Structure 1
Amino acid sequence: MSERETWTSRIGFIFAAVGSAVGLGNIWSFPFQTAANGGAAFLVVYLLAVFLIGFPTMMAEFVIGRRGEQNPVASFKNIGYGNWSFAGGLGVFSSLVTLSFYSVVGGWVLSYIVGSATGAYFGDAGAYFGSIASGPTAIAAHAVFMLVTIGIVASGVTDGIERATTFMIPAILVLLVGLAAWATTLEGATAGYAFYLSPDFGVIADNFWSIVPPAMGQAFFTLSLGFSVMIAYSSYLGRDDSLPADGGAIVVVNTLVALLAGFVVFPILFATGGAGGAGGGAGTAFVALAGAFGNLPAGGIIGFVFFAVLLFAALSSSISLLEVPVSYISENYGYSRATTAVAMGATIALVGVPATFGTSWLGFYNDVVFKLLLPVAVLLIAVFVGWVADTEAVDELGRGSTFGESFTTAWLWWVRVVVPFAVIVTLYLGVTALYEGLNTGAYF
């Protein structure tokens, strides 16, 4: 067996992990989740979820991956707890399901890049979305997006994933900053900022329990938690890296990108009168933005740049989602990385075909992942690290770190008690909402 690859540098790992976290969830989903759940009220709950639950959970996945030094399933066995491998297996399954519909949305982004260049959506943004969101065009774009993802993952950890994300993450940041600066010049931008940044704590108090599930799900999704991605990526790390420092950098940059996306989207929507449709789901998000770009001077150029940023973000996450099952199969069964990437990519693409039939299927896939799979996976990780492999976890978190024993002890008890409690509440609320949706026929 060939020697296992590692990141060539610490910054390579950070860019790759940030790339996994910075995806459609940050630039597409986050602004519209914010709009649909009370604006700044959602932002407050989301930020609490990211830093109080997301960051400690990321450290939990890191210690499993670096300690185990293998794929998300084998890492549990290498630590000495093979009977917990199912927890990593759930993450592999979640990655597969998520990428199957995520790739369909990635295909939409490709279509919108073309539409920005040709002006195809300027006349009727709704009709354009209808023409590309389902049917042959959606299937073809879905296939192209998956082919690009497969090509990057097949090229390896250093030549594929690290090289691609080292280019894409700085590009995303530079382009988003440029778009956010441009958005300040729009008439109506002030109203967009007020909606986004001025929380009504009465709204939070009255709607807290309805805001929690989407906010927690958004936090897990945007930080790539519950997919076993961070277990896989940290398994390629050296023992002298500080996990808290790296994790902190990843969380901060990821949150910065999400916030920047809001500084772009809300001024545009309020400047063009499209804010009212901001919370209507996957399709409405694209229609609202495309309609806004069609009503702006140089809208084709602005739209092209925005959807190019969205494409980079989508790809940086899709390669991490494919890496999880590829690393598992190639390491456990001895198949080559390239062969495994092609086979798994093709399988995932086929699983996602129903999501090209209409947005109801895509919404169902999305809610199953957000409200069920991710909370269960995160809960299992917290219980494992906090109560089963606690000694190994504390030892691993301290390696290469300048943080003292008080930090690791506080982190352990936080993962033991606070994280499981928060996730159990979120899981209950999310499953209840999912059941109601199925019972009322909201999906199909």
Structure 2
Amino acid sequence: MSDRETWATRPGFILAAIGSAVGLGNLWQFPFKTATNGGAAFVAFYLVAVVLIGFPAMLAEFVIGRRTHVNAVDAFERLGHRQWRAVGALAVVTGFWILSYYNVVGGWVLRYILGSARGAYFADPGGYFGAVSAGPEAVLAQALFLALVVGIVALGIEDGIEKATKLMVPSIVVLMVGLAAWVATLPGAGAGYEFFLSPDLGTMVDNAGSIIPFAVGQAFFTLSLGMAIMVTYSSYVGGEDNLITDGGAIVVTNTLVGVLAGLVVFPILLTIGADITSDTTGAGALFVATAAGFGSVPFGRLFGVVFFGVVLIAALSSAISLLEVTVAYANDNYDIPRTVLAPAVGVGLFLLGLPSAWDTAWLTWFDSFAYQVFLPLSVLATAVFVGWVIGEDAVAELREGAGGIGAAGGVWLWTVRVLVVAAVLLTLGLGINEMFLVDGADFFAPF
């Protein structure tokens, strides 16, 4: 096994974790899921899930990683529970699964940056998406995006991931604030803000069963939970770091960018009168509608390049964290340099992503399975392990570097034991019911 790297600085870890969280989950999935799941009602459920479920679950993953200083699979054995290695393996598989189609969407973003500069999608946004989202061109764009990700991870923790995210994360926040300020001047801004920020109680009550699985899944996705990312990243952290404040910074920044994404996207869509609640284009709904918006507003080419440039930065920052999960496992167990491991894993990801690149129906299938099965199942298993298996040892690790948190450690432990486990069980049950029973025909359509 090769010598293990660490973060050069504490801000480097925080920015890398924020970069993982602030990705396509915020700038692609969040607006898309909001639009097709009740608007502000979805946002309300999502914010509750982030605070009550996501944050405690994130700390649970931090505890495992920092206490063991190894990858997500071997961490359970180092804690004295070899039989729980399957939980870490599930998280690694989940991250690998998600990155396989994430690269495809990253390829779309590359094409939309070029399309914005040329104004290529202005005349026919739907037709442009159809041309670039599937088939040989999508496969090529997927490979190009994946090559960028592999190159960064191959450079290592300090020289690759940390340096890249120190540049990426501040850039995302600054550019999103600028875009939100510009969007506020559009004639449809008020209607967009109302759809995004004013929940309807009736919608929340009547559709809770269908909204909750996606809201909780979105919290997991955007906080990079259940994918072994936070276990892996925290394994490079020293004992003097305060995991609570670090986790709080990640949650707040991630939520801020998600809200900014909504404040940018929905006013644009309402300005052009788009049917934002329609799911006729599936995973590409927001690409089509947003492209139409940039084609209808002043300086659309410029702002299109800036917007999709931000999306590209965010996509890269998350993709490198997902790739690092698998590379870290291999790097901990085999004497193979990163420069070989990263491209080798990249080839596997490319092959698994081919169905999603060739047909968007497969991408939607992969995404639904990740949201409604893999992510909640992985988070549930981790919460049970931390809450009921290692228990007080987890609290002791959380207290390291956190000063006198007193009874807060016990409150956190019981939150993980009861609230997180119960909420994720409910989410998993609702998700499986929605996927296989309510939408069973749609789910099996790619087959």
**Which residue identity is paired with 2:128?**
Y
Residue 28 (structure 1) shift: 1.2
- Between the aligned partners of 1:388 and 1:214, the Cα distance in structure 2 is 28
Q: Note the 1:172-251 alignment, pairs <5 A.
A: 172-251=172-251
The Cα of 1:237 is off from its aligned counterpart by: 0.2
- Cα 1:277–1:199 shift into 2, 3 Å: closer
How far apart are residue 441 of structure 1 and its match? Answer: 4.2
2:407 corresponding residue in structure 1: 406
Alpha-carbon distance change, 262 to 403 in structure 1, aligned in 2, over 3 angstroms:
farther
1:272 aligned partner: 272
Amino acid at match of 1:33: K
Q: Partner of 2:236: helix, strand, or coil? A: coil
Q: What amino acid does structure 2 have at the position aligned with 1:217?
A: G
SS state at 1:120 partner: coil
Q: Which amino acid aligns with 2:95?
A: S
Q: Are 1:24 and 1:310, in contact at CA under 8 Å, matched by a contact in 2?
A: yes
Say whether residues 1:115 and 2:102 are aligned partners: no
Cα offset for 1:402? 2.7
Cα pair 1:23 1:314 within 8 Å, conserved: yes
Task: Give the counterpart letter for 2:20 in structure 1.
Answer: S
> What CA distance in whole angstroms lies between the structure 2 residues aligned with 1:148 and 1:53?
33
Displacement of 1:75 after TM fit? 1.2
Q: Can you list the C-alpha shifts for 1:269-302, whole angstroms capped at 9, x where unaligned?
A: 1111124356543122111011111111110111
Q: Secondary structure at the match of 1:440?
A: helix
Contact 1:5 1:157 in 2 (8 A): yes
Counterparts of 1:97-136 in structure 2, within 5 Å, are 97-136=97-136
How many angstroms does 1:437 deviate by? Answer: 6.6
- Alpha-carbon distance, 1:334 to partner: 2.1
Indicate the SS of the match to 1:405. coil
2:387 corresponds in structure 1 to 386
Question: Structure 2 length normalisation: TM-score?
Answer: 0.97
**Which whole-Å CA distance do the structure 2 matches of 1:378 and 1:171 have between them?**
30
- The alpha-carbon deviation at position 438 of structure 1 amounts to 6.9
Describe the superposition over 1:38-65 as per-residue Cα deviations: whole angstroms up to 9, x where unpaired: 1111111000000100000000000000
Displacement of 1:91: 0.7
Distance in 2 (CA, whole Å) between partners of 1:35 and 1:95 is 25
| Structure 2, unpaired ranges of 5+ | none
SS in 2 for 1:436: helix
Q: How does 1:314-329 map to 2 (within 5 A)?
A: 314-329=315-330
Residue 297 (structure 1) aligns with: 298
Counterpart residue number, 2:144: 144
Q: Is the 8 A contact 1:279 1:285 kept in 2?
A: no
- Aligned letter for 1:169? V
What do residues 277-335 of structure 1 show as CA deviations (whole Å, max 9, x unaligned)?
56543122111011111111110111100000000010000000000010001211222
- The 2-side partners of 1:371 and 1:113 are apart by 31
Secondary structure of 2:370's counterpart equals helix
CA RMSD of aligned residues (A): 1.2
In the alignment, the residues of structure 2 paired with residue 368 and residue 37 of structure 1 have an alpha-carbon distance, to the nearest angstrom, of 17
AA in 2 matched with 1:57: A
Number of paired residues?
Answer: 444
Structure 2 Cα separation of the partners of residues 401 and 124 of structure 1: 54
Q: How do 1:74-93 residues align onto structure 2 when only pairs under 5 Å count?
A: 74-93=74-93
Q: Residues 277 and 285 of structure 1 are in contact (CA less than 8 Å); yes or no, is this contact kept in structure 2?
A: no
Shift, 1:403, TM fit = 4.6
Cα distance in 2, alignment partners of residues 380 and 75 from structure 1: 14
What is the match of residue 288 of structure 2? 287
Amino acid at match of 1:320: S
Q: Which consecutive residues of structure 1, in runs of 5 or more, have no partner in the other structure?
A: none
Greater displacement, 105-114 / 433-442: 433-442
Match of 1:276, SS state, is coil
Distance 2:404 2:41 in 1: 33
Q: What is the CA distance between 1:230 and its match in structure 2?
A: 0.2
Show the 5 A alignment for 1:164-175: 164-175=164-175
Judging changes above 3 Å, is the alpha-carbon distance between structure 1 residues 199 and 438 closer, same or farther for their aligned structure 2 residues?
A: closer
Judge conservation of contact 2:36–2:277 (CA < 8 Å) in 1: no
The alpha carbon displacement at 1:2 in A equals 4.2
